Amino acid sequence: MEERMKKIAHKDGEREQLIMEHLENVGELAAEFCKDYQVETVDASRYAYVTGLAHDIGKYSNLFQRKITENLDITVDHSTAGAKEMRKQGMLAASFAIAGHHGGIPNGKDLTKQNLMERVTKRELEPYEEYKNEICLETVQEPKHSANEESLFTRMIFSALVDADFLDTERFMNQGNVERGNYDSIDDLYKKMMHYIKPWRNITEQTSDLNKIRTKILEQCLKEGEGEKGVYSLTVPTGGGKTVSSLAFALTHAKKNAMKRVIYVIPYTSIIEQNVAVFREILGEENVLAHYGTSLLNPENEEKDYYNKHRLSIENWDAPVVVTTNVQFFESLYSNKVSKCRKLHNISNSVVIFDEAQMIPLDYLKPCVKVIQNLVKSYQVSAVLCTATQPALDKWMKPLIVKEICPDYKEVFQHLKRVQIKDAGKLLEDSLIQKILSEKQMLLIVNTKKQAQELYQKTSGEGIYHLSTNMTPFDRKRALQDIRKRLRQDKICRVISTSLVEAGVDLDFPTVFREIAGLDSIVQAAGRCNREGKRKMEESVVWVFRTEEKVHRMIEKNVAMTEETLQKYRQYDALDAISYYFTSLQALDEEALDQYHILDGFEHNLDGIVMPFKKVEELFHLIRSDTRMMIIPIEKEAIRLLEELENRIKNQENFKIVLRKLGMYAVNVYQNEYQKMLEDNSAYEIIDGIGVLQKTSLYTNEMGLCYEKSDGAVMI
């Protein structure tokens, strides 16, 4: 009789895990994950423990027990019970977290029957009261803060709960055999970093002036890394060694303050690989987790010893150094989904470097800055706003004080000035083509993919390249390798590109032509000219030009503000001019800095929705382009992967990993273009929203996808 009374949470063949064991394991793990939270008025660890203890009490129902013991193919709601009990105790964050621990955090109250209030007050549940025979759910005080702070606390508790739930279940199902963790400690990584930079610090008479400046910046980062947790800025011009110096600050700071990890947040996937390669060279491949697009799931990575460990770490960011994108970082912090939120608790007590911080989209500036503030205030995070163009974010960080790591950055900028930026006026297409062909090595950057393709088509000759996101990542990578090689060998190299080369792409040209754009883009473009300072400044010119093309609506405000700035300041790259540009752009329309009312949505409801977790997830997308994935089956590996994808779809097998690998051989196209390509049989749809190019003559390795009905609106 006693044997039949057992209440089971999980079953694997003859093996069983009791509910009580699972609840205690999850509670203890969740409490451990929250030990670094410092949310005023609440014991976060205790709060998380009770949340874990309550999350599966619905499994005590007789119907759920029949489902698991008799292997019945039925659905039993086991999440709402714990959510209901937590609401009774006034623990709303716990109620939201438990209600969403499988399907995502629901809205508090909306017009559907899936919102939290409907579920915990009106939904009929299978009797689950037997939980009281085994556990006692104490009441822990809820935080008393603003609705936005409470919404982040809810997600952070949710994160701890779902990660603990997954890990305990995973451990049971795999009988404890899981390839997680076992990375080097922060102390060990600090030693590796110090060993790597040791030669840099050995200044001799032979040390170049540029390397002396880089070393000075590095020493400043090591010194300031010993400081207390808080918000820092690192303002270093292109060529100042920002990548290594910021790592030196981060590891020094993490070691000094007993912090768990370093997280690098970078604006574009196109510039991450370079940073990842540097960090892995310094710290070892296995210690640096790259989480973006196809970062892990490329065929060549599968042979790495750390592959399986990294594959698991992408789920919860338990590695000591994580490199990711603005999109992944900020969208996760405003998400309601299990898969995105699972890693959030591991952001706590971390050093978070926001590389190229000026690239945070203006539409989302306030929500992004607010969440950084809250992470610093309540979750032991140190944030570093790292930039080469001095963004005006200090105003939005108040009352937090932003400390500059290199206070003499103005002097550094002057010493590292390696180019002249000049106005070329209006250049017609024929003049542009003439400029391209008259320079031995040059980079020309235009504002749209259509312009880049048309100019490339109308030029011919040795060493001419095209770069844009109309090319697959595979072809862009190959082209960049060729370009770097020709530049090193001093061969003819003429590149026509969109703005994708401006941030973090390590190229060094003697001459750059940049179509008028935002001042930040122009300064970033200048970073591709005389990057290593090997030429005289007088010989290194960035020419800003205008064309007869109408300025694209996406950058109208930026161009107008650039023109206004140049009425007041004569030099494009003067620090005062850059500061004026950013400050004025943000002041144009402060409401537009939270265009989708993310912050106000929690404070005053959004479209009548109370605590709109699900609604905000739908609205918060840093890149708001209605695009579809178009697979380009030209390379042998792409064809092989496509065949594997088709077989998996046909056999109803999981195909996500294959699809991610195919990202290396795909481009994104707008929905209207995508639809036209399906209609004229240029492509076919393999699954909803994902196409395969059928008319492969529309794609070339050199120029990417050339579809004549395209409006070329995409900027990069």
Give per-residue pLDDT as tens, 666-685: 999 988 999 999 999 999 99
Read off the pLDDT band of 714 (50, 70, 90).
very low
Q: What is the pTM of this model?
A: 0.90
3-class secondary structure, 221:
helix
Report d(CA 619, CA 638) in Å as an integer: 33
Widest CA span of the chain, in angstroms?
A: 92
- What pLDDT does residue 1 have? 32
* For the chain, percent of residues with pLDDT exceeding 90: 67
pLDDT of the residue at 559:
94
Average pLDDT score over residue span 438-452:
94
What residue type is 512 in one-letter code?
V
pLDDT digits (tens, 9 = 90+) for 584-634: 888 888 888 999 999 999 999 888 899 999 999 999 998 866 789 999 999
Position 634 scores a pLDDT of: 95
Give me the helices (H) in 70-115, please.
80-88, 92-99
Compare 326 and 274 and report the one with higher pLDDT.
Answer: 326
Q: Exposed (0-12), middle (13-18) or buried (19+): which is 670, by Cβ within 10 Å?
A: middle
CB atoms within 10 A of CB 257: 17
pLDDT tens digits for range 244-259: 999 999 999 999 999 9
Region of 605 on the Ramachandran plot (φ > 0 left; ψ -120 to 50 alpha; else beta): left
Tell me the two tokens of residue 504.
């973090």
CA distance 175 to 242: 45
Residue 689 burial by CB count (10 A; 0-12/13-18/19+): exposed, middle or buried?
A: exposed
If pLDDT is split at 50, 70 and 90, which confidence band does 713 have?
Answer: very low
Confidence of residue 300 (pLDDT cuts 50, 70, 90): low
Confidence band (pLDDT; 50, 70, 90) for 551? confident
CA 354 – CA 376 distance, rounded (Å)? 13
Residue 236: band (very low, low, confident or very high) from pLDDT cuts 50, 70, 90: confident
Q: In the structure, what pLDDT confidence band is assigned to residue 712 with cuts at 50, 70 and 90?
A: very low
Report how far residue 94's alpha carbon sits from residue 113's, in angstroms, rounded to the nearest whole number.
20
- Section 404-430 average pLDDT: 89
Please give the average per-residue pLDDT across 393-398, as a whole number: 84
Tokens at 559, concatenated: 């161009």
| Residue scoring higher pLDDT (95 or 408) | 95
Rg (CA), the chain: 27
Q: Specify the pLDDT at position 294.
A: 55
Please check the confidence at residue 469 and state whether its pLDDT lies above 60: yes
Q: Mean pLDDT over all residues of the chain? A: 90
Q: What angle do CA 88, 37, 253 make, to 5 degrees?
A: 170
Going across the sheet that includes 288-291, the strands are 288-291, 321-325, 261-266, 350-355, 382-387, 231-235, 402-404
Alpha carbons 461 and 491: distance in angstroms, whole number: 13
Residues near 681 by Cβ (< 8 Å), separated by ≥ 6? 694, 695
Percent of the chain with pLDDT over 70: 95
Average pLDDT over residues 493-501: 93
When pLDDT is cut at 50, 70 and 90, the band that residue 302 belongs to is low
Locate the DSSP E strands across 209-278: 231-235, 261-266
For residues 489 and 26, give the distance between their C-alpha atoms in angstroms, rounded to a whole number.
59
Element (H, E) at 629: strand 627-631
Mean pLDDT confidence for 98-106:
96
